[in-house]
Structure 1
Amino acid sequence: MSDKGNVLCFVLTNVNRQRLIPMFIMDGQLLKIFKIWLVLLFIKESTGRTTANQQALHAHLFTSYDAGEKPYCGGAVNVTLDLALRQVIDLDEPQQILRANVWVRLKWQDCRLTWTPSSYGNIGNFIVPYKYIWIPDLTLYDSVSSEFVGLKEYRPNIYPDGTVYYNFPSVLESICTVDVERFPYDEQTCKMLFGSWAYHGNDMDLQYKKPEGDLSSAVTNVEWTYISLKAERHVLYYGCCPEPYPDVTYYLRLKRKPQFYLINLIVPSMLITVMAALGYYLPVESGEKVSLQITVMLSLAVFQLLVADKLPPSAEATPIIATYFNFSLFLVGLACVMAVVVIAIHYQGNRRMPDWLYKFGVLKLSVITCVHLGNNSVVSKQKVDTTNSIVVKNQTHKVCPDLNETNRNLTLINLEKPVVTLENGGEEHKDPGATAPNRVNQDDWRRLALVVDRLSFYVFCIVGITGTSIIFSQFGM
């Protein structure tokens, strides 16, 4: 018994109990202090016994133990690996690197680390620094980091039968081949291959604990959804050595959340492409038809650069969204070219329009595009030679007629002939299909420009809707 215990017994046996007990009753604080002192004294004695047992166990286990030597217990050391995903920190698509926070759980048997619990105060497990015992040289083969973070920074837990559990957190940086063909509706599978770098399969056999990793503690990622974490074991033979090298590969399957890219990239680019159609409603006299189309093209180019910065420079597969941006640029570029053509036709001035172009471009295409030409009351005169002159009479053109006037207008179109005044005062009716070498009319060019502009608008809408539907159907939405 300790000295303090002897003093306590002396006080209790030699002091007048009739005087001591009323004193404790009257002073409750002294009674509490006395109880606390007794508890602390018991704890100190128990701690002393536990410390002595731990020191004895430590001496028993590590007196002749060499942490640099692999346990030779009759065959290869069976190391079991279990991986728990904590969080995907980042998946860098251009660099194709996965950064993930994981919990690594190792288990193996070391026959040199055994003891009888009853001989050491019933100690059921013993936690020691990692440098005291042998630890498997677990290696992430496709790592881009210079070291395995956490492997030599935590403490393993030893049990009486020699079983060692070593659990530690780590941040892995592994190469991950990214397939962005269906971006942003893509799924990625990143593999993390673990194995021993120094020991072959005859010395250390690496196996997985479960066919699937642990996702129960995973923290939600803002960009990715965790689908699965599956484990597979492989045995490989390398050219350097004839021995087998087992490895455990975890396949992390991720699915991207497309809402961010849908709202910030796809929808704005579609709206900007639709704005290109507004250029067809601008009159030529405004002078802004080409400027609007060029502005739309520049805006789409900016969105395309944003997407290009997000995707890896891979030539194996073309992303569907890149195809969509290229298609949109082509569509707006075509609209810009047609705007230039319409402006060039509109400002032809007094140049003569060929009859075939008038018949096909003005009359027939105006019916197809439903463009109402209105009335033409312009009379042009031009000398042909010294003996005769030609005067173009009034002509009335009406397209998209009402159903109740169909027969009458067809008759007018078939029977209508320009009237030519001859020098002697007579009149001659000529077939519209006949050659009129001196037709001069600025309004005809303007009507043709309007027809071409309307026709290109229809083509723009049809091609845009069809192409966009085909492209986005490839996403499988």
Structure 2
Amino acid sequence: MHITRALFLWITLILSFIIEVATQSTANQQALHTHLFTSYDPGEKPYCGGAVNVTLDVALRQVIDLDEPQQILKINVWVRLKWQDCRLTWTPSSYGNIGNFIVPYKYIWIPDLTLYDSVSGEFVGLKEYRPNIYPDGTVYYNFPSVLESICTVDVEKFPYDEQTCKLLFGSWAYHGYDLDLQNKNPQGDLSSAVSNVEWTYVSMKAERHVLYYGCCPEPYPDVTYYLKLKRKPQFYLINLIIPSMLITVMAALGYYLPVESGEKVSLQITVMLSLAVFQLLVADKLPPSADATPVIATYFNFSLFLVGLACLMAVVVLAIHYQGNRRMPDWLYKYGLIKLSCITFVHVERNAPVKEEKQNTVKTIMVKGSVHKVRPEQKKTKGSLHLMEYDQPVVVEEKEPVSEKDPEDTAPKRVHQEDWKKFACVVDRLSFYMFVIIGAIGTGIVFSKFGM
């Protein structure tokens, strides 16, 4: 019973002490609030014998988006401000050893920090959080913000490009004689940055500038952060570059299609349309800039030219293959067919020159004997005539006219057709070699500009 009563007394004393401390703490805070803000005007800048020194530090949290066509950077940052207000000082021992005092932002003066190249209407978070005040008048104001700023994009080496975006901070109302803005560190804080799926954070350099504008003779200091980003090219390499290269290689397969298939030209046109689709995908990703042509756009244009050349040569090969019965000129046969066949390794059998002569149908009658008399009752058999010489039969041989379907008469036509077909094969093979050589050299030159 005595133990229970003693325990109850101890609990009562502890609770009383806690209540007294809390009451005293609340009273001290109320007293400190009255001391600081009774005659304080948050709309007035503190005048403490010179310009207010404002220190700025920016920590990158995440790059939300970099819109290349619109050239707008959207990022999440933590802004850290520090300045000294001589009107916000107190002696800690007089107010229950209160070492810091957190108040709503509307109670104190806050620098009008401005992002000069912002595309949004306001500085998000600047007037939504609570600053922390210390006894010597030092104010720390840390708050998160989402910034949207103009970022000039250079996509010449897309997708192996690096972008540098400027974040220029300064005061819009106060000049350098009233507010001196300085950067806390030479580099922005990247230690808390969340990785981005498309960009790698290279650096975030900070520099202080003092500028003079045409409106005013006073200096205007600013702090500029240079956020350097490097694109991760794997996505575009897998989904754009490699498929486009494979499609270009598909155009080479058209040289292995026989002319009789009728698909040589249609295959090349299909490849050109596929490359045009990939080119449109890249064009939607890049800004319409006339300052620099992206290397990947140059590659697509080169591929379209290469496939267009293959399509043109396919038409030429078809035209040569179907020349029909026209006789090939001797110079073309000698230099175009024979010489080029050695270069292109196409086997061609050399034919002896065949002369076409107009053959007249001639009936030759060979008669044995010198004096002949032909009677009306002569009988004709195939290949001979029976004539009567002095009432004696004489055999007269007659050669029948050469048939129009005689193989000897159609042989020259067949030789000409084979010559044209062989020449078409030679031109097709020569075009294939040109396609491979030009494609390899052009692709190497284009990709060397990426600095890979």
Query: After TM superposition, is the score higher than 0.5?
Result: yes
Compute the displacement of 1:463 (Å). Answer: 0.2
Residues 338 and 348, structure 2, Cα contact 8 Å, conserved in 1: no
Q: Which of 62, 75, 79 does residue 104 from structure 1 map onto?
A: 79
Deviations 1:282-305 (A, max 9, x none): 000000000110111011111111
Q: Which of 184, 203, 210 does residue 159 from structure 2 map onto?
A: 184
> Does 2:444 match 1:469?
yes
Give percent identity, aligned residues only. 82
2:176 aligned residue: 201
**Taking structure 1 as reference, are residues 380 and 280 closer, same or farther at Cα in structure 2, changes over 3 Å only?**
farther
Residues 325 and 413, structure 2, Cα contact 8 Å, conserved in 1: no
Residues 125 and 158, structure 1, Cα contact 8 Å, conserved in 2: yes
Q: Which of 423, 443, 446 does residue 418 from structure 2 map onto?
A: 443
Letter in 2 for 1:454: R
User: Number of residues paired by the alignment?
Assistant: 403
Compute the displacement of 1:386 (Å). Answer: 10
Letter in 1 for 2:445: I
2:139 aligned residue: 164
Residues 290 and 336, structure 1, Cα contact 8 Å, conserved in 2: yes
Instruction: Quote the Cα distance in structure 1 between the aligned partners of 2:9 and 2:76.
Output: 51
**Taking structure 1 as reference, are residues 302 and 36 closer, same or farther at Cα in structure 2, changes over 3 Å only?**
farther
Alignment of 1:48-447 (within 5 A): 48-374=23-349, 381-383=356-358, 441-447=416-422
Residues 353 and 440, structure 1, Cα contact 8 Å, conserved in 2: no
Max Rg structure: 2
**Taking structure 1 as reference, are residues 283 and 142 closer, same or farther at Cα in structure 2, changes over 3 Å only?**
same
Deviations 1:224-268 (A, max 9, x none): 111110111111111111111110000000111111111111011
Q: Secondary structure of 2:427's partner?
A: helix
Deviations 1:424-448 (A, max 9, x none): xxxxxxxxxxxxx999711111011
Consecutive unaligned residues in structure 2, runs of 5 or more: 363-411
Compute the displacement of 1:158 (Å). Answer: 0.3
1:420 aligned residue: none
2:21 aligned residue: 46
Letter in 2 for 1:289: K
Residues 265 and 311, structure 2, Cα contact 8 Å, conserved in 1: yes
**Taking structure 1 as reference, are residues 47 and 183 closer, same or farther at Cα in structure 2, changes over 3 Å only?**
same
Letter in 2 for 1:336: C
Consecutive unaligned residues in structure 1, runs of 5 or more: 1-19, 388-436
Deviations 1:351-373 (A, max 9, x none): 12111111111100000100012
Instruction: Quote the Cα distance in structure 1 between the aligned partners of 2:340 and 2:149.
Output: 62
Deviations 1:23-82 (A, max 9, x none): x39xxxx95x77655443332221111000000000000000000000000010000000
**Taking structure 1 as reference, are residues 380 and 213 closer, same or farther at Cα in structure 2, changes over 3 Å only?**
same
2:2 aligned residue: 21
Compute the displacement of 1:379 (Å). Answer: 7.0
Instruction: Quote the Cα distance in structure 1 between the aligned partners of 2:413 and 2:242.
Output: 53
Instruction: Quote the Cα distance in structure 2 between the aligned partners of 1:41 and 1:292.
Output: 92
**Taking structure 1 as reference, are residues 380 and 38 closer, same or farther at Cα in structure 2, changes over 3 Å only?**
farther
**Taking structure 1 as reference, are residues 318 and 386 closer, same or farther at Cα in structure 2, changes over 3 Å only?**
farther
Deviates more, 1:438-447 or 1:204-213: 438-447
TM-score (norm 2): 0.86
RMSD: 2.1
**Taking structure 1 as reference, are residues 463 and 384 closer, same or farther at Cα in structure 2, changes over 3 Å only?**
farther
- The runs of at least 4 consecutive aligned structure 1 residues that moved more than 4 Å come to 33-38, 374-382, 384-387, 437-440
**Taking structure 1 as reference, are residues 56 and 108 closer, same or farther at Cα in structure 2, changes over 3 Å only?**
same
Letter in 2 for 1:21: H
Q: Secondary structure of 1:255's partner?
A: strand
Letter in 2 for 1:139: T
**Taking structure 1 as reference, are residues 196 and 386 closer, same or farther at Cα in structure 2, changes over 3 Å only?**
farther
Letter in 1 for 2:168: L
Deviations 1:68-119 (A, max 9, x none): 0000000100000001000111111000000010000000010000000000
Letter in 1 for 2:106: K
Instruction: Quote the Cα distance in structure 2 between the aligned partners of 1:472 and 1:266.
Output: 11
Q: Secondary structure of 1:441's partner?
A: helix
Instruction: Quote the Cα distance in structure 2 between the aligned partners of 1:252 and 1:382.
Output: 86
Letter in 2 for 1:91: L
Instruction: Quote the Cα distance in structure 2 between the aligned partners of 1:361 and 1:328.
Output: 29
Letter in 1 for 2:2: I
Q: Secondary structure of 1:108's partner?
A: strand
Letter in 1 for 2:319: A
**Taking structure 1 as reference, are residues 292 and 34 closer, same or farther at Cα in structure 2, changes over 3 Å only?**
farther
Instruction: Quote the Cα distance in structure 1 between the aligned partners of 2:66 and 2:265.
Output: 42
TM-score (norm 1): 0.81
